[in-house]
Structure 1
Amino acid sequence: MRILQLLNHTRRLNGHVHAAVDLACAQAKLGHSVAMASGGGDFDALLAANGVETRLVNQERRPATLVKGLGVLYRLVRDWKADVVHAHMMTSAVLAWPICKSLGIPLVTTVHNEFEKGSILMGLGTRVVAVSAAVGQSMQKRGISKSRLSVVLNGTIGSARFEGKDRTPRRLESPAIIFVGGQHPRKGIPDLLAAFNIVHNKNPATRLYVLGDGPYLDTYVNQASTMECGSAVTFMGAQDDPFPFLLGADIFVLPSHADPAPLVLSEAREAGCAIVATDVDGIPELLEGGKAGILVPARDPLRLAEALCTLVENAEALQEWRNKSQFNIEQLRIERVARQTLEVYAVARRQIRGQSSEPV
């Protein structure tokens, strides 16, 4: 199959990009012809090294640029003879829709963050992929027919992004609790700091490591500095590869208020961390309904602190939940994601062929 993947860009530290790059490389490894059309970025060399063609299509949201990009993309889809076009971002989906319509090619879209206002535009796809069942349900409420939706749960194990990377655990002071993610309100970092303050007061040796960047980083750094636990909190900024830090940690914590299907949970489970996360959106699906990690209510620092204390204060409980993180972990392999997505393409192609054969 000839698969054209579409992204606005291929820069690091963006979950949409990571998921699409992982998918493209995995599909190429399965023997398909895959190209990535985007504005370019950090992952172009990795894509090329994994047999994925890279094509430049500038999709910056400026009228003249988009008009030009539409023409470039039309010629690419036509001349490259794509069997299916897969868009991962709203701009890409909007540009691809009229092209796919005119050429009779299925457009598949993936909804990575359904809470974004414009995510309803992903409904332009012949088939719409939701990265968790929770996202699928949300999109149905927003008007996308269940008959056009397919759920393909995220997974990262075996990703080309991690091949050949250093897997030496970083030395962190133990017991080490780690958070990896964007510094945004929806990630619940103030709740984490409030919970950690309780944990640290009861267990002074405990340390919290916060990895990630974002517009609220300075706010959270300042908040931590005013708390009793401040000296035990280390903000480490964005890391190209957080996996060695996860390997060096005891507990991974994700206190999100909203999170469709965070890739980092797959990485934390692969690293063998005990996991505490909030019971929202796609998080329970990635933790096997609580069999692979402890689920707590969102926006509840006290319950979060209780779960963390259970692990910090009880070595047997900590090891038990480390072991539980491996439950059914094969489901988080990128090859499974790639194969299920190929099945979605097959359905979309049959759907397009059925439409073209219908009498006018």
Structure 2
Amino acid sequence: MNILHIANHIKQSGNGIVNVMIDLACEQSMLGHKVAVASEGGEYLALLRQHNIEHYNLDQTRKPMQMLQAFFHFQNIVRRFQPDIIHAHMMTGALLSRYSKGFRKYKIVTHVHNEFQKSADYMKVGDTVIAVSQAVAKSMANRGVNERKLRVVLNGTIGSKRNQRMEGISLKGRSIVTVAGLNERKGIADLIEAFNIVSGQCPESELYIVGDGPEKERFKTMATQSSSRNRIHFEGFQTDPKKYMSSSEVFVLASHKDPFPLVLLEARESGCAIIATDVDGIPEALDFGNSGMLVPPKTPDKLAEAILNMLNDEELREKYKRSAEQGLDFYKVERVAKETIEIYEDLLSDKYRMISRREEMNGME
């Protein structure tokens, strides 16, 4: 079938939405489907070409003139590619797909990655709405999406064509690592506050913050005001953060909201002892606490207690490292792609039945 994915960009910036889309597109192409991506472009363009995936440049800047141009340009893309499925990963693409449909026969699949955003309401326009976790599906149902339109496909990163295997690095002291966007939602301030407690009781501990984001300077200022400022390291965005994960003693994700973070699957694959907050899809990504320790969100004291327990108890730490690596076969990208293809086929089944019937009638003539 012809599958057209649409997102704002394909930049290699740590954006989980983009990473899921790229993984899906590559895997679907390998399964024999004709796949294309419409976006404003980015560093993943070379990877798409390697997998025979066509890319259409589409500027979706949310300004009146650019959106009008995007509307006509998108219609032209649809005419050229003739998609059976348009898979929209962001709000703008979902609306373009719906408003451009007219009498065209393609089906629209919207993929809800960040349901906490108000813009997630617009993802209702899909003929089918994919949620990345049961928690997201429940939230979308509460927001008015017909449950018959909702399907859950848990994220997976194992076997991703994006991954580049790198050697681990040498980290100082008792290393605590987080990989996250530097914004309030990811609980970076909570982690810095928790580390102030940890460092007082474990003087050899070191905190490595891997990632970039809009509130980087605020968090850096907060760190410089800490008594542990010399042991808090901002490492910036890394194309392969696994080199930090595989070298850490403890991996932490202190999110306030998180639908189903890919980084936890990457941490599990790296064999990390994981501590994360008990919110949204995080428990699902950690097998409800079996593959990582869960703590309440926005509680730096409890987070610090969990980190100290993990650092001070080698048996506990090794237990969580072993359990993190259990059951990872389920989180292969191949499984995600196949489940998504099944959703497409369900949507298109009426169309395919009509084509088969027409071919059968032609054969009888």
TM-score normalized by structure 1? 0.95
Tell me which amino acid in the other structure corresponds to 1:54.
H
RMSD value, Cα: 1.7
| Deviation digits for residues 295-323 of structure 1 (CA, Å, limit 9, x no counterpart) | 01111112111111111111121111110
Cα distance, 1:154 vs structure 2: 1.0
Question: Is this contact kept in 1: 2:259–2:280, CA < 8 A?
Answer: yes
Q: 1:351 to 1:261 in 2, by over 3 A?
A: farther
2:82 aligns with: 81
1:211 aligns with: 210
1:338 aligns with: 337
**Structure 2 counterpart SS, 1:161:** coil
**Structure 1 counterpart SS, 2:172:** coil
2:326 aligns with: 327
CA distance in 2, matches of 1:100, 1:106: 9
**Structure 2 counterpart SS, 1:155:** coil
- Deviation above 6 Å: which 4+ runs of structure 1? 351-355
TM-score normalized by structure 2? 0.93
Matches within 5 A, 1:237-276: 237-276=236-275
Matches within 5 A, 1:1-360: 1-13=1-13, 14-162=15-163, 165-350=164-349
Unpaired segments of 5 or more residues in structure 2? 355-365
2:363 aligns with: none
Cα distance, 1:264 vs structure 2: 0.6
Tell me which amino acid in the other structure corresponds to 2:41.
G
**Structure 2 counterpart SS, 1:4:** strand
Q: How many residues align?
A: 354
Cα distance, 1:215 vs structure 2: 1.6
2:362 aligns with: none
**Structure 2 counterpart SS, 1:167:** coil
CA distance in 1, matches of 2:103, 2:120: 23
- Between 97-106 and 5-14, report the one with greater CA deviation: 97-106
CA distance in 2, matches of 1:279, 1:83: 39
CA distance in 2, matches of 1:143, 1:78: 32
**Structure 2 counterpart SS, 1:128:** strand
Cα distance, 1:122 vs structure 2: 0.6
CA distance in 2, matches of 1:128, 1:318: 38
Question: Is this contact kept in 1: 2:210–2:236, CA < 8 A?
Answer: yes
Question: Is this contact kept in 2: 1:44–1:54, CA < 8 A?
Answer: yes
**Structure 2 counterpart SS, 1:248:** coil
**Structure 2 counterpart SS, 1:102:** coil
- Between 206-215 and 223-232, report the one with greater CA deviation: 223-232
Tell me which amino acid in the other structure corresponds to 2:79.
R
Unpaired segments of 5 or more residues in structure 1? 356-360
| Deviation digits for residues 156-202 of structure 1 (CA, Å, limit 9, x no counterpart) | 1111111xx24200111242110111111111111111111111111
Tell me which amino acid in the other structure corresponds to 1:345.
Y
Question: Is this contact kept in 1: 2:166–2:240, CA < 8 A?
Answer: no
Q: 1:334 to 1:171 in 2, by over 3 A?
A: same
Question: Is this contact kept in 2: 1:128–1:149, CA < 8 A?
Answer: yes
Cα distance, 1:249 vs structure 2: 1.2
Tell me which amino acid in the other structure corresponds to 1:134.
A
Tell me which amino acid in the other structure corresponds to 2:202.
N
CA distance in 2, matches of 1:198, 1:111: 37
Cα distance, 1:220 vs structure 2: 0.9
Question: Is this contact kept in 1: 2:251–2:275, CA < 8 A?
Answer: yes
CA distance in 2, matches of 1:69, 1:237: 33
Tell me which amino acid in the other structure corresponds to 1:138.
S
Cα distance, 1:351 vs structure 2: 6.4
**Structure 1 counterpart SS, 2:87:** strand
